[in-house]
Every structure is written in structure tokens, then in C-alpha cells.
Amino acid sequence: MKRIGVFTSGGDAPGMNACVRAVVRTALYHGVEVYGIMRGYSGMIKGEIVRLDTTSVANIVQRGGTILKSARSQRFQTKEGRQAAFDQLVNHKIEGLVAIGGNGTFTGAELFEREFGIPTVGAPGTIDNDLFGTDYTIGYDTAVNTALEAIDKIRDTADSHDRAFFVEVMGRDSGYIAIPCAIGGGAEIVLVPETQQSLESVIEQLQIGRKRQKSSFLVVVAEGEEEGNATHIATQVKEAIPELDVRVTVVGHIQRGGAPSAADRLLASQIGIAAVEGLINGMRSVMAGIVDRKLVYTPFHDCITRKKPINQSFMRMMEILST
């Protein structure tokens, strides 16, 4: 393999730049040319492809976001769009790809490889940490710390004003961000998609706390919680407990930005190297990940279809510490 491409796709995550840097410098270390594909699959279709060298990725390891940009592509979901993307790769003599992204990125990569035979190795870049095949995804550690910093500040004002704050963090299909934030932030309740906690039980827990003369509360809600978003849940709680002073804070997209943590920079660098060396060694349609501190390659199909369970010991920890 003499020439590869690298792109970032889907939601941006802190550490993506560190991964791009590792991909570029590992490829060059092995004598392989590397091209950056701008704006994910959208840029691949349009031919937004640029040659990268070691200076192209200098001084980016500490930067949030992605220098390659990211975009979602409706056109890539069509056979015609994927054909156009393949034609652009052929024009640039690109023989393999490193895809940095999440579930949607790997779904597209698996289909693309099946139709056109372009080998792809994935790097898990998503703050949600919901990909099977790796203990942690690039950007997750930073996102948790960003959200926790906000929660610490919210806790201060909740205590000062005797209020109940419902704090919504990211995690459409996963409570991986919400649970450590709830434990680390001293929350009384955490609501995540993986559990079946009812609104009635939330109201009951708050009522018990009030009977114990507790004056302020913190409820952390993953945005995909089945009972609804934080605003919807808080409204219903207020109806059930009118005397409770309720506020809602949505932490939002600040969780995606900012300089990556040391853990994310290290993980991104490790996985970036593994992705390139996997391609060189003939791997295809797999994601490089770290499980029990060991490098593993997991088929895209498993990453996409297999559910990554939440840590039940964390849920037990939450139950004990919130009493």
C-alpha cells in the first residue's frame, strides 16, 4: 500500500486532531503517502482531497475540533454518491482509508468497502463512548470532564438557592457521559436510556429527600432518556411537587469542543498508529480499539450492531452514594 486517505466524519470530538496527526506521521514513518479528505464523505464525493505531510499536522495535537472538518452526507447514502466517492479515490490513487468517527461513519465505510473494495480501518472518534470494541472512544474523557465542570458550578447555585436542577448532558443512545458525571458531581438521580427508571420513581426519590430536610437536588439526564429530555421531565416533576424550585440546564455542544485531555491525546495517538499499521498489514472493515489496555481490531459489523453495556457497578455506586 503506497497511498492512503484519512477523514473525520459525524460529530466532532476532542482528540480527532491528535488522531489525524498520528495517522499522518505513522504513514510517513512507513513510507506511505497520506491524503486528507476534507468534510468526510461529502468531501470525498466532491474531491476535496489534499496531500498531507509532517508539517501539515504540526501543532494540532492540543487543538479541539478537526482540521479536516466534518459534515454529514445525504448523497453518500445513495449508490451514485458512493460511486462518485470511489471515482475520486481512484483519481487520487488512494488505496486505503482511515475513518475517524462513530457508528454512522463505520456503517458507511462497511458498505463502501463491500461495494468497491476500498479497505478501511476505523478509529473510534465520538464523545458518546457507545461503540462496541473499545473501552473508551476518542473525545469521551474530555467531554465528561467538560460536563462535570459545568455540573460543579450548577451544584453551587443549586445549593445557594435551595433549587432542584435538571442537567441534560449528551448521550442520545447511551448514558456513558451521564453516569460518571452524576457520580463525580454528587447527583441524587441519574436518568439514562439503558435503565427503566420511571418518572414516578424520580418524584418519589425527590420527596424522600425533602422529608430528610434536603433543600437542593441535582438530577443528571442523558439526552436520549426514554422519559423525555430534561425540560420535559422537570416540567412533570414541578407539576407533581409545586413547592419545588426547579431549573433546567442543557450543557449542550460545549461537550464536543475544547482542548483534548491527556487521556484523549494518548488514546488518539495510540489508535491512529494502530489504524495505519492495520491497513498496511492487510486489515479491512475493522475498528482499532483498546480493551483491557490491549489493542484489538473489531469488525465494523460488530461495532455497529452489538450493544455496549453500561458498567453496572457504576449504577450500584450511584445507588449507594445518592442515599
What are the residue numbers of the active site? 128
Q: Is 22 annotated as a binding residue?
A: yes
Is 172 annotated in a binding site? The answer is: yes
State yes or no: 127 annotated in a binding site: yes
Binding residue per annotation — 114?
Answer: no
What span, in angstroms and rounded, lies between the C-alpha atoms of 65 and 258?
Answer: 7
Any known ligand binding at 141? Answer: no
Q: Is 23 annotated as a binding residue?
A: yes
255 has binding-site annotation: yes
Annotated binding residue 294: no
CA distance 180 to 114: 38
Please work out, in degrees rounded to the nearest 5, the angle formed at the alpha carbon of residue 259 by the alpha carbons of 129 and 131. Answer: 10
Query: Is 155 known to sit in a ligand binding site?
Result: yes
Which amino acid is residue 26, in one-letter code?
A: T
Q: Is 170 annotated as a binding residue?
A: yes
Query: Binding site annotation covers 24?
Result: yes
The answer to whether the annotation marks 144 as part of a ligand binding site is no
Any known ligand binding at 45? no
42 is in an annotated binding site: no
- Who contacts 223 (Cβ-Cβ below 8 Å, separation ≥6)? 168, 169, 170, 171, 172, 229, 230
96 among the known binding-site residues?
no
102 assigned ligand-binding residue: yes
Cell of 278: 492495520
Annotated binding residues for substrate: 126-128, 163, 170-172, 223, 247, 253-256
Annotated binding residues: 11, 21-25, 72-73, 102-105, 126-128, 155, 163, 170-172, 186-188, 212, 214-216, 223, 247, 253-256
Annotated binding residues for Mg(2+): 103
Annotated binding residues for ADP: 21-25, 155, 186-188, 212, 214-216
